[in-house]
Amino acid sequence: MARSWLIFLCLSFILLSANIEADASHCSIKGFPLVRNISELPQDNYGREGLAHITVAGSILHGMKEIEVWLQTFSPGTRTPIHRHSCEEIFIVLKGSGTLYLASSSHEKHPGKPQEHFFFANSTFHIPVNDAHQVWNTNENEDLQMLVVISRPPVKVFIYEDWSMPHTAAKLKFPYFWDEQCLQSPVKDEL
């Protein structure tokens, strides 16, 4: 029940943020219906074994301007790279558990030693702007599935090799993997 309520609130926020009019035919990009079945949306791992990513509502693919929403599933042991970005990020944990590593020293020369935060199904957490972080599925027996909301899309990601790497040496990845694929495959103007 709590998970359904969180998803309902998040999707309601998406619709309000997108300034969608009452006209059911309105859509920011032709060719995409206003109402979509998540199970029918494209899913890919973008070369990262153990990841399943779906862009539920995106800036490049769907024309979102203020937020972007992803559904991500991590198999046991899978993790994100250590990274930071100039946007806020909210995670809603739908299934599984894991560990968030968060270094809140963006004002220093490098991320520094991260704090560990354990999370679980029906929990939520947020990442402040420019804080280096990493999400791990540390559960050996269950997939980790999360709904992720970011502000100010499309996201510009700075990737670190380790927690002591200077901010100035972090590698910029823009467009990010899922946005890059959308840019290479333009949306058709057909229904």
Q: In whole angstroms, give the CA distance from residue 74 to residue 63.
A: 26
pLDDT bracket for residue 175 (50, 70, 90): low
pLDDT, tens digit, for every residue of 145-166?
999 999 988 888 999 999 999 9
Walk me through the domains of the chain, giving residue ranges and CATH numbers. 38-184 (2.60.120.10)
What percent of the chain stands above pLDDT 70?
A: 75
E-assigned strands of 59-113?
67-74, 82-85, 89-95, 97-103
Which pTM was predicted?
0.78
What average pLDDT does the structure give for the chain? 82
Rounded to 5 degrees, what are φ and ψ at 169?
-95, -10
